[in-house]
Structures are given as structure tokens and as C-alpha cells.
Structure 1
């Protein structure tokens, strides 16, 4: 069965933000009792994946998310209900006390949560078999692509994935920027763990902060949060 572990966050991360890593067990079955908390709709969604690994990733992250939310809400995991907002970003159907975001890739998933602000998270696997060059125009600003071209091959790969996870975490925090694509943000070159938005900063990103975080070997990850807290 999958395991769930807390992930230490940078010291300057707000104390209300928490992060959890899920390590997948691909020999599990969707019929296992561990997945009993999933709704009928979630079971159906898992069943539509063509590959068993993809179904396990979705189901494992959703069960772990339900368990974390249920603990905070004081209810059973199967009782947690979700809705989609106007940007199709999931949120709790019966409460506005928690925000969350999830991501998964390869053998790992991440869950970010906060009781005070919006959060976003992304993890990507730097797989040797994936041609990251094929999506540079969808991911990088022209200045970033030009900067990467001057690096050696391994540094290019690392820089590309740093940019990818940072931009995904940023836009997932609001949900608004997704429609415009990732290339409207500029985060390279990287000079610290803090993500610095360069060039023009879009209005919806002016109150968002992000940090690259430690990830398993061959992975890149980033967490983002709103500096503005919820209005109750």
C-alpha cells in the first residue's frame, strides 16, 4: 500500500502550510480496503485509466487527500465532498476552512494544504526517456529558452524542470493563469530556493510566493502560497 509522509518546508514558509509526500505501491489493487473511502465517481475515474500505474497514482493521492482533510475537519474520509470552482480547481464542497492542491509524477505524489491561504504544488520526474525539448515553447519564456541554451546538457535538464514545477505551482495556486499557459511567467535563471518572478509580473501573481523544495532523486518539486489570507 502507498505511504504518506510529512515534508519539511523552508523556515520562511507560513506555519499554516503543510506538505505531504505519497510514495506509490504499484502492486496494490484498487479493490484493496485502503481505497474504500473513495466515492463512486472516484472509483469510476480510476477505472477509466488505461494503465494500472496511472489509476493507482490518482486513487492513492485522492485517498491520502481525503484522509488529511478528514483529520482536519473531524469527519470520516468517505464523507469529504469536493466541488470545482469556475476554473475547475477542486475545493471542499461543505467548508471554506481549508485549501489544498495535489500533484503526482512517477513514483511520488504531493499534497499541499493550508487553513489560511491558497496553495499550489507540483512535482515532476526528470525521466531520461522524456524529450523535454518538445514542450519548451509551451513551458518557457523566450528569454529562459535562450538562457538554457548556454548550459551543459545536464544543467539544461535540471533548469527546465525547475522552471516547469515552479510555474505549475504558481498557476495552480490561483487557477487563473492556467488558460494563458506557462510561458507568460519567467522564473529563470534560478539563484536560490526562492522563486523570483522576472520581467513582467501578471496581476494574479503579485500576491503569490513560491519555493523550490527538496525532492526524491531525479525529481523536481515546488510549493507556492498566497501571501493574502482567506476572508471569512
Structure 2
């Protein structure tokens, strides 16, 4: 792999938001030309991961992000500079032309970029051995947990991950997120690709919208954004 080829993902959100899926090649080396744009700090960070798969996820998505931002900024990918805000949310260090967000899990990653509004993405891989009940109180509204329990066993895991990615994407969009926890966002039952916030909506979520994305088999994915364009 001498380059990373992001796959554009369609969505029915604002046209200024671009979303790509990144496919990870775990046979690759961190010394590959595809990662030449990474900074020394990024390469060091990648090499500190204990598992090669985790290193490749981080390096592949970061290199792809650099390429996409570089195209928009009109500079070389290695010249893109990053910083982090008080909530550790990454942003461009020397420009406010784009907001972006990334996520990765399993063999795939997601990138969302917008020149006009804040964005958030999340992708998760379903696990057959994961018991969603073990973290239900931390992630689900009680009514969501009851709704999932009413599904057949084969659909329960997928429904849980739908809720998880939607809430993570929404929180990542706000930057600070909500202080009370994911269980105070209610997005189930799911009725379409649009994420509908149900019950009482927290103040920091009133101007945020989201859509579930078409994801590879065994994955769930979502993109979220600030409803009001204010970034530029």
C-alpha cells in the first residue's frame, strides 16, 4: 500500500460535510511510504501502541486525514499542523478553515471534515462476546434498555451499537460533550437513518443533528454536526 484511498460515504446531512471510510491494511509497516506525511511525534505515538493493529489504525487514519486536509488547505500533507483544545479535541493549529473528527475500530476508520460547522463521527465493531448489559447503565436511557430487551437476541447487539455510535458522534461534535453521561441522551428506537433525540434534550445538544451511516457488515457508524453553520 503506497497510498491510502478513502471511500466517500453518502449521507443526507449538509452538503459541506464530507465523510470518508478508511480501510486498514494490517499487513503494512509503519515505515511504508503511505505514512511519510506523519510527524515524528505521530510516528512515535504509533510505535508506542502495544498492538500492531492499534498502531496501524492510528497511523492510517491520521495519514488519510492529513491528505484530505492538505487538499483543502492547498499545502503538503506533512505541513498540516495539529493542536488540541482544553477538552483534548484536535483541531488545525494554524487555521480555522476546517473542523474535523475521526474514529476507528476493527478494520475501518472514519473521517468527517467541514469548512462551516463542527462535526463528529464514530464507528464501532460489533463483538459477539460483548455483553451490552454490562455497560447499559452508562450508555443507555432506561427506556432504551427496555426497548432493546424487547428485540430478538440477534438484533439486540446491533441496536445497542446503533445507540452507542450515535451518542458518541453527538458528544464529539460539541467538543465538551455532556457532563451527565451518554445515558442522558435518548436516540432509540431507531426509525430511519436520521438520529432523533427523544425525551428531554440536554442544552448542549439542542443545536446538533446526526445521521447513521451505511457501515460494513458487523459495524455501526454515525456522523453528527452542529445544526447552525458558524465555523467560518
Unmatched 5+ stretches in structure 2: none
The structural deviation recorded for 1:179 is 4.2
Helix, strand or coil at the partner of 1:177? coil
> Is the partner of 1:22 in helix, strand or coil?
strand
Instruction: Give the unaligned 5+ runs of structure 1.
Output: none
How large is the RMSD of aligned CA atoms in angstroms? Answer: 1.2
Specify the alignment match of 2:192 in structure 1. 192
Q: Given that residues 22 and 108 in structure 1 are in contact (C-alpha distance below 8 angstroms), is that contact kept between their aligned partners in structure 2?
A: yes
Distance 1:81 1:209, change over 3 A: same
1:217 maps to 2:209: no
- Residues 150-159 or 15-24, more deviating: 150-159
2:23 is matched with 23
The range that moved more, 129-138 or 211-220, is: 129-138
> How many residues are treated as equivalent by the alignment?
230
Where does residue 104 of structure 1 map in the other structure?
A: 104
Instruction: Single out whichever of 55-64 and 147-156 deviates more from structure 2.
Output: 147-156
Give yes or no for contact 1:140–1:183 (8 Å, CA) kept in 2.
yes
Deviation per residue, 1:34-82 (Å, 9 max, x gap): 1111111111110111100000000000000000000000001111011
Deviation for aligned residue 1:175: 1.9
Asked whether the equivalents of residues 121 and 168 of structure 1 are also in contact (C-alpha less than 8 Å), the reply is yes
Secondary structure at the aligned position of 2:6 is classed as strand
Relative contact order, higher structure (CA 8 A, sep 6+): 2
Any conservation in 1 of the 2:117–2:231 contact (CA below 8 Å)? Answer: no
Asked if structure 1 preserves the Cα contact closer than 8 Å seen for 2:178 and 2:204, the reply is no
